[in-house]
């Protein structure tokens, strides 16, 4: 693992962040906002990490997935409320306030998609 800035991954992270903000601000549906947002957030985190860390795809992707599972588990235990931050809009957005298995599935599919794209993109390279 080496630290090295990647303009490509950083640009992708910024683009996905903008998409996430647009989804949060303008979409109030029952599918894209709750599910596509969770699918994209793990890709966003992956791209952000890869913006600064040069490491193999699978370990980085699995670390991001483990982090996402941890955050979801903290939601299950009502971390925001335990910390006394239930009235903080930022805490509720960043940490979240309820656990769902569908989020776990969306994170898993997002990382699976990321690994597939990365392997396809690097197919045939040494």
Residue 90 lies in a domain: yes
- Give me Rg for the CA atoms of the chain: 15
Rounded to 5 degrees, what angle do the CA atoms 72, 45, 61 make?
A: 85
How confident is the model at residue 126, as a pLDDT? 60
- 3-state SS of the chain is CEECCCHHHHHHHHHHHHHHHHHHHHCCCCCHHHHHHHHHHHHHHHHHHHHHEECCHHHHHHHHHHHHHHHHHHHHCCHHHHCCCCCCHHHHHHCCCCCCHHHHHHHHHHHHHHHHHHHHHCCCCC
In the prediction, which pLDDT does 93 show? 78
Domain that holds residue 35: 2-121
Angle between helix 37-52 and 57-76 (nearest 10): 130
The total number of structural domains in the chain stands at 1
Nearest CA among 52, 41, 51 for reference residue 114: 41
- Blockwise average pLDDT, block size 10, the chain, 126 residues: 94 97 88 89 98 96 97 92 89 83 97 96 72
Instruction: Look at residue 126 and tell me if it is in a domain.
Output: no
φ and ψ at residue 28, rounded to 5 degrees: -130, 50
Determine the pLDDT at residue 25. 87
Per-residue pLDDT, 125? 67
pLDDT value of position 98: 84
Task: For residue 106, tell me if it sits in a domain.
Answer: yes
Confidence at residue 124, expressed as pLDDT on a 0 to 100 scale: 66
- Residue written as tokens 């197919």? 123
């Amino acid at each position: 693992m080496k630290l090295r800035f990647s303009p490509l991954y950083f640009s992708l992270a910024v683009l996905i962040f903008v998409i996430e903000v647009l989804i949060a601000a303008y979409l109030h549906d029952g599918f894209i906002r709750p599910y596509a947002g969770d699918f994209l957030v793990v890709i966003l985190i992956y791209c952000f990490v890869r913006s600064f860390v040069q490491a193999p795809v699978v370990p980085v992707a699995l670390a991001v997935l483990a982090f996402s599972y941890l955050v979801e588990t903290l939601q299950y235990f009502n971390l925001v409320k335990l910390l006394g931050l239930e009235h903080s809009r930022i805490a509720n957005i960043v940490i979240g306030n309820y656990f769902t298995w569908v989020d776990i599935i969306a994170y898993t599919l997002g990382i699976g998609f990321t690994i597939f794209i990365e392997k396809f993109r690097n197919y045939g390279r040494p």
